[in-house]
């Protein structure tokens, strides 16, 4: 017998090729029963699940007769007595016969098409031929919501894989990827009208659906359409100047041809050890470019605190358009993108391993958008000598995909050494052995001459230095303390005005010069000479440099601080350091700002208390942004002490202390600091500062530290946030308004007020124009958390994705970590445990100081592992339990105690109430944290301990504690929490519910929970 059922775009049944007439299904329950069974695994379902789906509001004793009647009418319609069989507690459809269901066939085809990475567009298109709307005549049936959403997700994934962007927009008008690809398609086709129409549609959809504006990449594509730029057939010619670098030159040339011909940008990563010839390769590449290709060159400096946006300042010195872009810091990065998009461009940034934070942010920003413009971004860097926590490593980790090309420079061969000038094969072999084929070392050895081969680069460089006259050698030694390059006027000043000494050094090959600058042939040569100086010689050389720089007011303060620190010029450090740090922070180079202020604050005893307090506060904030919580906390506390007696300065310090403390010590510490700031400002008349302080109090009372799916309502959070919002609106300060709205929205959602969602979306919209990544990302963090805690899991994932995109343009580690933690919590909630476990492991392995967020991540990971019976669960949780930081804060101690209790419940080791659990209960009761109290009580009760919950538990914990299991299951379903639903069902009083709970736990892989329930 062959039975086929159509559920897509309508309902129909055929038995042995004979259609069952539609009028026979006039009795709705009979058709609904067949549809439900057809969608079930093996076309069978437990009786209670059938009843719950078809008659949810009827008791079991009343529903069973209805079930039998529906089965009877279904058998009559199908003409077979075994069409629907009720045996024991199972309802089966044509048992023993394979039933073909079009919806299940589509799911199977979709899964096969999506299994490859990336999916085949043809396979996705073939799978889509089987798609359709699931039972469109039954839109009101609640039991169809989950399978309908599941099929819709498959269709969305297939449309993406098949590149059917218009069809994807019909399903999801706010799909940014689809809008972007359609816009790009029109721009590349030269269809200006269509491109602008698609951009307008994209902007309207994103603003109305998500409250956001199009990405900078979309703006660049729009600008290209407006400009309607056409490009000639630019040609790249290879240079034969280098030895054994033809393949690498060819790779770069291929990349630029892609830019010219396809109008799609590339990112070229040129790596190699120091002296490998990266700069020489780039010079040869640039020298072979067609003159119609715009070239922008810049390099990073090995300074104490490198110049903020140093490479782009180099470019600005020769390109007025780039200079104009940098003159508007709030729009500098989009401005640079517009310049490079205007015509085919090659943008070279050398020595990225020395880049400041602002430069790294600019590279991140450009690299993410270069594929949409006709430009090649060429980055050179050393892969050796950087530890995993180095910002370069984090940057490289984000540079992946088809637009990224990697060029690695290998050592030179013996043959190459011979071609470069070795006098014999034997000498070439020996030089290659000693130098390991390092091109710079090889050329220095050959230039040094002599009969022996120097054993180090330093020996080879010093041998060449020894050929200079004493006066020229002195000038070169002075220049060696200046990283990267020196202005020619500065070099001549160090030569006491004798330009002939520079000519001598240049002719020897020790220096290379241009019209305006002088530099060593390689940074290795400079370092070799500097390292050969005595301490006194280095100090004296830096003093001469400082004196020379002081005579030129246009010199950047950061350069003066670098040299002043190396020669003990405290007066210069104190005079120039604060301004240098302020400029670095303004441009987003917070790591460099903190380093400069560290140098200044070593002399805090020479500063006025007010200035010291201000500098400590600024350094604390910069350290917070670059994820150095402990140092930030120390600085903020020093600022509070130094500002004693000055209410405004002390309030500033306390606001930063609160912000740092929330993840360094916990929300309770943050509450104390922010409340103290409010007390200081309440009567001071500084409304902007007061609004900021009130927002921090609301933040500390909110749910930012909540990783569970149930929010903790807080009247105080809402009151403080609303007061901050009122002030911000009166001041017309959008950035303050956005931050206040975050916590108004969070507090409203926590108490079930749906207006909170609109508050959070408005916060995102207001923050979109804020130049500070921190403020933009914080809005997404709160929106994602709010969506998670109200069961809007799809929204939560969208906000996480959007927040991570916003964070990718700048370094705000805390925001990125919190977003990734929310993503893992959402996956855990959905039952996507493999993805959640992988994400949490990656999060815990990431470099940096996550502070107390690591403890929260450990609590979630340990619980997931324990449910699966993984013995590593205890080891994951142990470091967090052993850390005393946060032990007195219920937001930290609570989740850790709950995790510990669940582990003990699952492995049977929890005999009595542990000290940690009792302490967590006491802390939660003392602070009124009912959500922690409730969850802890539930898990202790599951472990057999009689522990009462709070009087008014929030969310699904209320029916769970009260034993109202049906209500609890529904509440957890509304929150999207698969595990809690399953556990409640598995402990329910009816055997059918328990069986369903066991089935769900087994499907989750919760093998350790099954015996525990």
Model pLDDT for residues 904-954, shown as the tens digit of each residue:
999 888 877 778 889 889 998 998 899 999 999 999 999 999 899 999 999
Examine the fold and report which residue of 133, 163, 193 is the final residue of a domain before the chain moves on: 163
The tokens for 280 are 């020489």
Tell me: pLDDT of 632 over 60. yes
Q: Whole-angstrom Cα distance, residue 740 to residue 782?
A: 11
Clarify whether residues 692 and 816 are in a common domain: yes
Tell me: pLDDT of 245 over 90. no
Whether the CB-CB separation of 379 and 352 falls below 8 Å is answered with yes
The DSSP code sequence of 928-994 is: T-HHHHHHHHHHHHHTT------SS--TTHHHHHHT-HHHHHHHHHHHT-HHHHHHHHHTSSSHHHH
Q: Report CA dihedral (475, 481, 486, 488) to the nearest 10 degrees.
A: -20
The tokens for 177 are 């990827």
Dihedral sign for Cα atoms in the order 784, 764, 954, 703: positive
Q: In the predicted model, what is the mean pLDDT of residues 809-819?
A: 80
Per cent of the chain over pLDDT 70 is: 96
Q: In the predicted model, what is the mean pLDDT of residues 510-535?
A: 85
Q: Whole-angstrom Cα distance, residue 389 to residue 154?
A: 38
Least confidently predicted of 457-466, 903-912, 973-982: 457-466
Tell me: pLDDT of 188 over 80. no
Whether the CB-CB separation of 347 and 340 falls below 8 Å is answered with yes
Q: In the predicted model, what is the mean pLDDT of residues 293-316?
A: 86
Clarify whether residues 920 and 820 are in a common domain: no
In a domain, 519, yes or no: no
Peptide bond preceding 118: is omega within 30 degrees of 0, i.e. cis?
yes
Looking at residue 809, its pLDDT comes to 67
- Strand 99-101 vs strand 375-381: parallel, antiparallel, or unpaired? unpaired
Clarify whether residues 947 and 969 are in a common domain: yes
Clarify whether residues 792 and 882 are in a common domain: no
Examine the fold and report which residue of 362, 386, 410 is the final residue of a domain before the chain moves on: 410
Element (H, E) at 87: strand 84-87
Q: In the predicted model, what is the mean pLDDT of residues 600-620?
A: 96
| Helix (H/G/I), strand (E/B), else coil: 176 | helix
Q: How confident is the model at residue 516 (pLDDT cuts 50, 70, 90)?
A: confident
Looking at residue 501, its pLDDT comes to 92
Q: In the predicted model, what is the mean pLDDT of residues 202-212?
A: 82
Least confidently predicted of 441-445, 657-661, 883-887: 441-445
In a domain, 159, yes or no: yes
Q: In the predicted model, what is the mean pLDDT of residues 263-281?
A: 87
Least confidently predicted of 176-180, 181-185, 386-390: 386-390
In a domain, 224, yes or no: no
User: Could you give the count of Cα atoms lying within 13 Å of 725 in the half-sphere of its Cβ?
Assistant: 20
Looking at residue 427, its pLDDT comes to 78
In a domain, 217, yes or no: no
Whether the CB-CB separation of 243 and 356 falls below 8 Å is answered with no
Clarify whether residues 772 and 744 are in a common domain: yes
Looking at residue 968, its pLDDT comes to 95
In a domain, 846, yes or no: yes
Looking at residue 453, its pLDDT comes to 56
Instruction: Considering only residues 914 and 341, tell me which one the structure prediction assigns the higher pLDDT.
Output: 341
Q: How confident is the model at residue 41 (pLDDT cuts 50, 70, 90)?
A: confident
Q: What is the CA radius of gyration of the chain?
A: 34
Query: Which ranges in 456-569 belong to alpha helices (H)?
Result: 457-465, 470-479, 488-494, 499-507, 523-532, 535-550, 557-565
Q: In the predicted model, what is the mean pLDDT of residues 557-582?
A: 94
Q: Which residues constitute the domain of residue 767?
A: 685-850
Most confident of 259-273, 756-770, 805-819: 756-770
Whether the CB-CB separation of 478 and 465 falls below 8 Å is answered with no
The tokens for 284 are 């040869």
Q: In the predicted model, what is the mean pLDDT of residues 123-149?
A: 87
Tell me: pLDDT of 118 over 80. no
Whether the CB-CB separation of 842 and 835 falls below 8 Å is answered with no
Number of domains in the chain: 4
Clarify whether residues 940 and 988 are in a common domain: yes
Give me the CATH number covering residue 768. 1.25.40.10
Examine the fold and report which residue of 141, 163, 185 is the final residue of a domain before the chain moves on: 163
Clarify whether residues 695 and 844 are in a common domain: yes
Clarify whether residues 833 and 907 are in a common domain: no
Clarify whether residues 30 and 142 are in a common domain: yes
In a domain, 556, yes or no: no
Whether the CB-CB separation of 962 and 955 falls below 8 Å is answered with no
Looking at residue 229, its pLDDT comes to 36
Clarify whether residues 877 and 987 are in a common domain: yes
Looking at residue 428, its pLDDT comes to 82
Per-residue pLDDT reduced to its tens digit, 46-87: 888 888 888 888 888 888 889 999 999 999 888 888 899 998
Per cent of the chain over pLDDT 90 is: 48
Clarify whether residues 832 and 857 are in a common domain: no
Tell me: pLDDT of 805 over 90. no
Looking at residue 962, its pLDDT comes to 94
Q: Whole-angstrom Cα distance, residue 258 to residue 783?
A: 40
Provide the mean pLDDT of the chain: 88
In a domain, 911, yes or no: yes
In a domain, 527, yes or no: no
Clarify whether residues 369 and 393 are in a common domain: yes
Tell me: pLDDT of 235 over 80. no
Instruction: Considering only residues 321 and 261, tell me which one the structure prediction assigns the higher pLDDT.
Output: 321
Least confidently predicted of 164-173, 754-763, 1000-1009: 164-173
pTM of the model: 0.70
Whether the CB-CB separation of 89 and 178 falls below 8 Å is answered with no
Q: How far apart are the first and last CA of the chain?
A: 42
């Amino acid at each position: 017998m062959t039975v086929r059922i159509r559920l897509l775009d309508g309902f129909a049944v055929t038995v042995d090729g004979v259609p069952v007439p539609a009028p026979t299904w006039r009795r709705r329950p009979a058709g609904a029963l067949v549809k439900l069974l057809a969608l079930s695994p093996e076309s069978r379902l437990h009786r209670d699940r059938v009843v719950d789906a078809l008659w949810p509001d009827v008791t079991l004793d009343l529903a069973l007769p209805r079930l039998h009647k529906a089965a009877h009418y279904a058998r009559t319609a199908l003409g077979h007595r075994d069409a629907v069989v009720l045996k024991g507690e199972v309802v089966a459809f044509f048992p023993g016969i394979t039933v073909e269901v079009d919806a299940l066939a589509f799911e199977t085809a979709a899964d096969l098409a999506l299994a490859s990475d990336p999916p085949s567009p043809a396979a996705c298109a073939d799978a889509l031929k089987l798609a359709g709307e699931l039972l469109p005549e039954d839109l009101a049936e609640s039991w169809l919501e989950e399978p309908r959403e599941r099929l819709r997700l498959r269709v969305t994934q297939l449309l993406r894989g098949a590149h059917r962007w218009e069809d994807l927009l019909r399903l999801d008008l706010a799909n940014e990827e689809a809008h972007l690809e359609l816009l790009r398609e029109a721009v590349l086709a030269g269809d200006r009208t269509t491109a602008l129409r698609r951009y307008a549609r994209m902007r309207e959809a994103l603003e109305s659906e998500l409250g956001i504006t199009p990405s900078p990449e979309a703006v660049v594509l729009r600008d290209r359409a407006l400009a309607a730029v056409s490009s000639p057939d630019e040609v790249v010619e290879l240079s034969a100047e280098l030895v054994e670098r033809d393949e690498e030159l060819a790779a770069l040339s291929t990349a630029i041809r892609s830019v010219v011909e396809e109008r799609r940008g590339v990112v070229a990563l040129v790596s190699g050890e120091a002296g490998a010839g990266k700069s020489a390769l780039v010079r040869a590449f640039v020298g072979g470019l067609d003159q119609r290709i715009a070239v922008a060159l810049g390099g990073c400096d090995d300074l104490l605190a490198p110049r903020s946006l140093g490479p782009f300042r180099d470019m600005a010195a020769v390109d007025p358009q780039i200079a104009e872009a940098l003159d508007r810091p709030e729009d500098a990065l989009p401005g640079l993108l517009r310049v490079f998009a205007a015509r085919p461009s090659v943008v070279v940034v050398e020595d990225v391993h020395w880049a400041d934070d602002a430069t790294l942010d600019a590279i991140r920003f450009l690299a993410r958008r270069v594929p949409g413009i006709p430009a090649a971004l060429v980055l050179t860097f050393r892969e050796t000598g950087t530890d995993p926590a180095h910002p370069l490593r984090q940057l490289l980790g984000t540079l992946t995909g088809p637009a990224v090309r990697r060029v690695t420079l290998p050592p030179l061969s013996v043959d190459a050494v011979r071609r470069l000038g070795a006098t014999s094969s034997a000498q070439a072999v020996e030089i290659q052995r000693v130098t390991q084929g390092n091109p710079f070392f090889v050329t220095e050895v050959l230039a040094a001459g002599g009969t022996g081969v120097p054993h180090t680069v330093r020996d080879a460089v010093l041998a060449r230095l020894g050929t200079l006259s004493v006066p020229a050698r002195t000038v070169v030694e002075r220049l060696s303390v200046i990283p990267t390059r020196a202005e020619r006027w500065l070099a001549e000043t160090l030569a006491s005005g004798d330009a002939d000494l520079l000519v001598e050094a240049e002719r020897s090959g020790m220096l290379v010069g241009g019209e305006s600058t002088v530099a060593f042939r390689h940074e290795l040569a400079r370092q070799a000479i500097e390292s050969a100086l005595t301490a006194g010689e280095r100090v004296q050389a830096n003093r001469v440099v400082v004196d020379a720089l002081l005579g030129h007011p246009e010199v950047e303060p950061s350069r003066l601080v670098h040299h002043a620190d190396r020669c003990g010029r405290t007066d210069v450090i104190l005079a120039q350091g604060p301004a240098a740090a302020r400029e670095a922070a303004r441009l987003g180079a917070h790591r460099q700002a903190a380093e400069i202020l560290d140098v200044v604050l070593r002399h805090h005893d020479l500063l006025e208390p007010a200035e010291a307090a201000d500098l400590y506060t600024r350094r604390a904030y910069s350290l917070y942004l670059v994820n150095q919580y402990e140092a930030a906390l120390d600085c903020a506390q020093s600022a509070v002490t130094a500002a004693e007696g000055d209410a405004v300065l002390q309030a500033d310090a306390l606001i930063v202390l609160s912000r740092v403390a929330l993840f360094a010590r916990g929300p309770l510490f943050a509450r104390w600091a922010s409340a103290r700031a409010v007390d200081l400002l309440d009567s001071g008349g500084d409304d902007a500062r007061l609004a900021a302080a009130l927002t921090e109090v609301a933040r500390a009372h909110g749910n930012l530290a909540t990783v569970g799916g149930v929010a903790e309502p807080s009247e105080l959070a809402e009151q403080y946030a609303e007061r901050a919002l009122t002030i911000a609106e009166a001041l017309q300060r959008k950035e303050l308004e956005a931050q206040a709205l975050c916590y108004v929205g969070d507090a409203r959602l926590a108490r079930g007020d749906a207006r909170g969602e609109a508050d959070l979306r408005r916060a995102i919209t207001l923050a979109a124009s804020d130049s500070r990544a921190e403020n933009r990302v914080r809005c997404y963090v709160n929106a994602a958390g709010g969506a998670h805690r109200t069961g809007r899991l799809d929204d939560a994932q969208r906000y996480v994705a959007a927040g991570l995109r916003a964070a990718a343009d700048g370094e705000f580690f805390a925001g990125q970590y919190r977003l990734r933690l929310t993503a893992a919590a959402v996956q855990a909630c959905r039952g996507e445990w493999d993805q959640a476990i992988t994400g949490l492991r990656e999060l815990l392995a990431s470099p940096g100081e996550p502070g107390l967020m690591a403890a929260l991540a450990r609590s979630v990971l340990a619980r997931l592992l324990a449910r699966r019976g993984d013995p590593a669960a205890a080891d994951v949780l142990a470091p967090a339990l052993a850390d005393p930081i946060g032990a007195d804060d219920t937001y930290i101690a609570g989740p850790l105690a709950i995790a510990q209790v669940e582990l003990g419940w699952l492995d049977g080791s929890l005999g009595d109430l542990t000290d940690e659990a009792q302490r967590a209960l006491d802390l939660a009761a003392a602070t009124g944290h009912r959500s922690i109290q409730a969850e802890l009580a539930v898990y202790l009760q599951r472990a057999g301990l009689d522990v009462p919950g709070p009087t008014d538990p929030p969310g699904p914990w209320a029916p769970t504690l009260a034993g109202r299991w049906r209500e609890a299951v529904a509440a957890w379903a509304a929150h999207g929490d698969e595990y809690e639903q399953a556990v409640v069902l598995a402990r329910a009083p009816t055997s059918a519910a328990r069986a369903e709970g066991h089935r769900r736990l087994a499907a989750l892989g919760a093998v350790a929970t099954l015996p525990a329930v």
